[in-house]
């Protein structure tokens, strides 16, 4: 059975605190009729700081779509390789052992995908399968795990590398006064994550057992981008928190169909897009609040890092040392509104360590 190994996660060197974000917002959007509402929402996110690929002053500069994409490409080519190398060490594999690369992002668009650059520049085999995912937003972390799981089941013994490269600060739109955009200005952060799904259980990790996908009907526009000449403009519907609550029976059923009870699992790697998702897991989901602390820690330290979120939460869980046989859930939520779910059992003993690999700042 395929095993998800401990991820490597890197956040960039430029830091902005919640207090700094609120002060910048009050200066830049003074007089906006919804500024007070957006400020309260930001203060209630639980995000204490975020990491950005560029200094705050540069991040706040209005630029066009072309410039944003060019910055993404330059930064990704610098920041992705060391994280990939660390993830491979944590999986006890070399580049030539990788059979497929899944690359996910929601903060840029490129063709060819970064997978082609990685194969050319990092020594992966020329027959490595490329699977880029660009339109699943925050749900793409869970989706990437599930597509890697599918690949390994279809080709037993294969190894899949997943890379999540999210530079959400490139989406900052200083001229966009929509409330959803103002909220995103204080919620999203930047990160690169990588993890390997091994086709065998030769190293410790999460033995993947079953996966599921679910789309909540009639919510397609509730989490979305408007695409203009200046780039992607984040849109968020006021009904999103209620949608997460309404989806809990689906999540409960998925876990029950795999012979478990949602509130009684040993750990939960939940995409921390905001506190409302975790509130729904607790009530009505019944998950104890203390079990959601790893997700809250990622949100507190890095903000919403989109598809990279589930990898950082799972990293924290793996490094804390699950016991042999502990059962856990990974769940990603994103546009559609889409849920990507996977359940598995920890196997192989303590997670492998690689000093400086699971959390580096560059």
5 φ, ψ to 5°? Answer: -85, 170
Q: Quote helix, strand, coil % in the chain, to nearest 5.
A: 40, 25, 30
Burial state string for 270-282 with b = 16 or more CB within 10 A and e = fewer than 16: bbbbbbebbbbbe
Give one DSSP letter per residue of 145-164, joined into a string.
Answer: HHHHHHHHHHSTT--EEEEE
First-to-last alpha carbon distance for the chain, in angstroms, is 35
- From 5, 106, 138, 152, the catalytic residue: 138
How far apart are the C-alpha atoms of 138 and 105, rounded to whole Å? 9
DSSP 100: E
> Which tokens go with 337?
């509104």
Using alpha carbons only, give the angle 362, 233, 302 rounded to the nearest 5 degrees: 30
5 is a catalytic site residue: no
Whole-number Å distance between alpha carbons of 48 and 218 = 33
Q: Which residue has the tokens 């303590």?
A: 350
Instruction: Report yes or no: 255 and 281 within 8 Å, Cβ to Cβ.
Output: no
CB of 136 within 8 A of CB of 143?
Answer: yes
**Which value, in Å, is the radius of gyration of the alpha carbons in the chain?**
19
Q: Kindly give, in sequence order, each residue whose CB lies less than 8 Å from that of residue 59, ignoring residues fewer than 6 positions away.
A: 14, 52, 169, 172
Are 102 and 160 contacting, i.e. CB atoms less than 8 angstroms apart? Answer: yes
Q: List the alpha helices (DSSP H) in 216-345.
A: 240-257, 275-282, 293-302, 309-320
Contacts of residue 305, Cβ cutoff 8 Å, sequence gap at least 6: 11, 166, 168, 188, 189, 190, 191, 193, 298, 312
Active site residues: 138
């Amino acid at each position: 059975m395929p095993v998800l190994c401990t991820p490597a996660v890197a956040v960039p060197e430029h830091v902005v605190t919640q207090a700094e974000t609120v002060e910048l917002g009050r200066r830049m959007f003074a007089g906006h009729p919804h500024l007070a509402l957006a400020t309260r929402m930001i203060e209630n996110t639980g995000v204490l700081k975020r990491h950005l690929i560029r200094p705050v002053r540069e991040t706040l500069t209005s630029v066009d779509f072309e410039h944003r994409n060019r910055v993404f490409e330059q930064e990704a080519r610098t920041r992705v390789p060391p994280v990939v190398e660390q993830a491979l060490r944590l999986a006890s594999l070399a580049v030539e052992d990788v059979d497929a690369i899944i690359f996910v992002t929601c903060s840029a668009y490129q063709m060819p995908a970064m997978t082609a650059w990685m194969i050319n520049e990092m020594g992966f085999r020329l027959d490595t399968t490329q699977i880029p995912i660009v339109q699943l937003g925050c749900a793409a972390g869970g989706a990437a795990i599930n597509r890697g799981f599918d690949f390994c089941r279809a080709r037993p013994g294969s190894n899949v590398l997943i890379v999540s490269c999210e530079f959400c600060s490139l989406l900052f739109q200083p001229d966009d006064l929509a409330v959803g955009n103002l909220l995103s200005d204080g919620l999203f952060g930047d990160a690169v994550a990588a993890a390997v799904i091994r086709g065998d259980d030769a190293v410790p990790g999460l033995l993947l057992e079953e996966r599921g996908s679910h789309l909540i009907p009639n919510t397609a526009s509730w989490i979305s981008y408007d695409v203009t000449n200046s780039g992607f403009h984040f849109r968020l519907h006021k009904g999103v928190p209620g949608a997460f609550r309404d989806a809990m029976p689906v999540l409960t059923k998925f876990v029950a169909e795999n012979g478990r009870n949602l509130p009684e699992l040993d750990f939960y790697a939940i995409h921390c897009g905001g506190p409302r998702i975790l509130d729904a897991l607790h009530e009505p989901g019944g998950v104890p609040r203390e079990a959601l602390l790893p997700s809250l820690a990622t949100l507190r330290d890095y903000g919403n890092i989109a598809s990279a979120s589930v990898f950082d939460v799972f990293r924290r869980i793996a490094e804390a040392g699950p016991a042999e046989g502990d059962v856990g859930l990974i769940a990603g939520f994103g546009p559609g509104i889409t849920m990507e779910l996977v359940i598995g059992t920890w196997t192989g003993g303590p997670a492998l360590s690689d000093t400086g690999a699971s959390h580096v700042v560059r």
